[in-house]
Structure 1
Amino acid sequence: MSLAPPVEPMLARAVPRLPGPAALPGGTVLEPKYDGFRLLVFAGADGEVFLQSRNGRDLTGAFPEIADAAAALGEDVVIDGEAVICTGGRLDFSALQQRMNRRPRTVALLAREQPAHLVAFDLLQHAGTELLTWSYAERRAALESLFQGHGLQAPWALTPSTTDRALAEECWRLTEWTAVGVEGLVIKGLEQTYQPGRRGWLKYRTRNTAEAVIGAVTGSVIRPETVLLGRYSTDGHFLLVARSTPLAPRLRAELGGGLLTPAGADHPWHDVHFTSHWGSREPLAFSPGAPQLVAEFHGDTAVDRGRWRHPVNLHRLRIDLTPDDVPPYGAKRPSVDPDRPAAE
């Protein structure tokens, strides 16, 4: 095989709005953006398989059902795609995380109970021919031919794509799509080559509008940098739902000007420890504030059991609302605001 792991996958750059057809070489094609694990599948004609994560990690043992399906191809291929698991009609990112660092016996049990699928969206090599210098349109045709020639079914899935912007907006940005784990759109150029490690594609995330209670800040209460947002569970516990991106100067001034007051020793997060970001073990230093002030924020669709996985944008303070007006922790997904600019 001329391509051998690790190979850096081509990446996408966030944009605040959907671009026009001339934004990328040859015109744009749009694909759904899934809430999953990026996975490069290396398969040899001899049945040898390697599953590589975005950062080069070996995930072969974490997804045996995908590895077995790749070995069964009996061809020399390198496929780029997204590993996903569906639970209750929705893509389940936490189920993917449960596959990490587990014993083979445990992984085999999880694979039977919640099988993973590989949503393929690019073909980097086939039958000894490296395709990196081929255009997207040529690689897509080769990928479709591979699927058709083998009659590929689960755990394989071919991502839909379209050059029709109106169709993409109608199909993949509506509430029902975001509710099942489609985070937005990836925009690619029809004449683009595959450029490992380069952010040559574009991505537009659908954003949600929601409310939560400000429970703490990083920095100090009079000089806040970011906020930690919480919601009350039905049994009265105050639980973290999101952390914001750095606050805009206007919001820093409003919060630091006396709207947010320091919390006493009875604050529900007084002895609670948070980490600096999702999946990290690095402790986060924060200053609790009295959980009385409601804020409206914009976040993407990656929500696991009531908690936003990525930092959210604090949009405005809602002094007209009280904590009792905020949905409880784990409530159904908020409304989608597809025209709201994305931010990361």
Structure 2
Amino acid sequence: MEFPIDVALAEAVPRLPRGQGWWYEIKFDGHRTVLWRLAETVRLQSRSGRDVTRVWMDLAVAGMRLPPGTVLDGEAIIHDGGRISFSAAQSRAASSAARARALAARLPAHLAVWDILAHPVHGDVRGRPYLERRGLLLGLLADIGPPIQAVPATDDPEVAQTWYDTLAEQGVEGIVCKRAASPYRPGRIWQKVRHAETVDAEVVGYTGPAARPRALAVRLPDGRIGLSQALTAPLAVAVSAHIAACEPGRRARTHGEAYTTVGPGLVVEVLAGTTRHAVVTVTRMR
């Protein structure tokens, strides 16, 4: 297994699937993070494959307690004021290394782990069923403790529905649903039920300077290109890092608006209610 990997994703559905063979996990509101425990160090990967070790260094240090050869998939989350704060996670993800250290001292991160991709004894376990991987994960983390912990999971849909109905105020985003017999592979192999009505969109361009983009041109699920509203400062900083790593773009237009194209690999979450129109609202990087 080589760094980085293509991660498994979830497709949004309106309600929990029910029936034999379904398992349900709490979906925390943070930043997707794959932890690689290598022979002598730890590396952290974002959903898009970027190396994000420098901004989650507290998790990298904690990951040194894991045995070499471990690869975990989960969510980097931050608690603030008794609830999970996505804005705190977003601020950390968009920080410089020095600022990330300062933020970590005040609000340390946790890694909510939902899958194990490589095991120190069994090697690459992505082809094994979810339920078997879940058992390997729980066994591995039994003696590790915070800030690296397995997400709660159940095969009882009524328990999962209660989680969904009662935990939103604590920063829980929803529920992820997985088949007990399913292997781990790239693409939308899971289902998710979320409180926020959002969809994922691929970034194809930006307006404004590359060092501080003002808005994004995104390809919506139906194939249309939409131009976003103005980006928040943390989003602009995070997007600029992706732009800097791409080849220079060309000029293009959508609905009469000009933008500069950008290379593939960046996905953002946009409010679903705005996708019927040319202008969309970006809520976060994925």
The offset of 1:17, in angstroms, is: 1.7
Aligned to 2:161: 169
- CA distance in 2: counterparts of 1:206 and 1:166, whole angstroms: 17
266, 273, 278: which one aligns with 1:313: 273
133, 148, 171: which one aligns with 1:181: 171
Query: Closer, same or farther in 2 for the Cα pair 1:179/1:312, shift >3 Å?
Result: farther
Aligned to 1:62: 55
Q: Give TM-score scaled by structure 1 length.
A: 0.58
Q: Residue 184 of structure 2: SS of its match in structure 1?
A: coil
- 8 Å CA contact retained: 2:45, 2:51: yes
Q: Residue 8 of structure 1: SS of its match in structure 2?
A: coil
CA deviation string 1:77-116 (max 9, x = no partner): 0000000001111211111122235343322111110000
Aligned-pair Cα RMSD in Å: 2.8
235, 256, 265: which one aligns with 1:279: 235
Which structure 2 residue ranges, 5 or more long, are not aligned? 198-219, 222-227, 241-253, 256-268, 275-286
Q: Does 1:14 align with 2:12?
A: yes
192, 202, 217: which one aligns with 2:182: 192
Aligned to 2:31: 37
Q: Percent identity?
A: 34
Q: Residue 179 of structure 1: SS of its match in structure 2?
A: helix
- Identify the structure with the greater strand proportion: 2
Aligned to 2:203: none
- CA distance in 2: counterparts of 1:9 and 1:88, whole angstroms: 31
- Paired AA for residue 89 in structure 2: L
- CA distance in 2: counterparts of 1:207 and 1:50, whole angstroms: 30
Q: Does 1:50 align with 2:43?
A: yes
Q: Residue 188 of structure 1: SS of its match in structure 2?
A: strand
Q: Give TM-score scaled by structure 2 length.
A: 0.69
- 8 Å CA contact retained: 1:29, 1:187: yes
- 8 Å CA contact retained: 1:4, 1:42: no
The offset of 1:72, in angstroms, is: 2.6
- CA distance in 1: counterparts of 2:182 and 2:101, whole angstroms: 39
Aligned to 1:135: 129
Aligned to 2:145: 153
Equivalent runs, 1:1-344 vs 2, <5 Å: 3-22=1-20, 27-44=21-38, 46-127=39-120, 129-148=123-142, 151-170=143-162, 172-174=163-165, 176-195=166-185, 197-206=186-195, 274-275=229-230, 279=235, 310-313=270-273
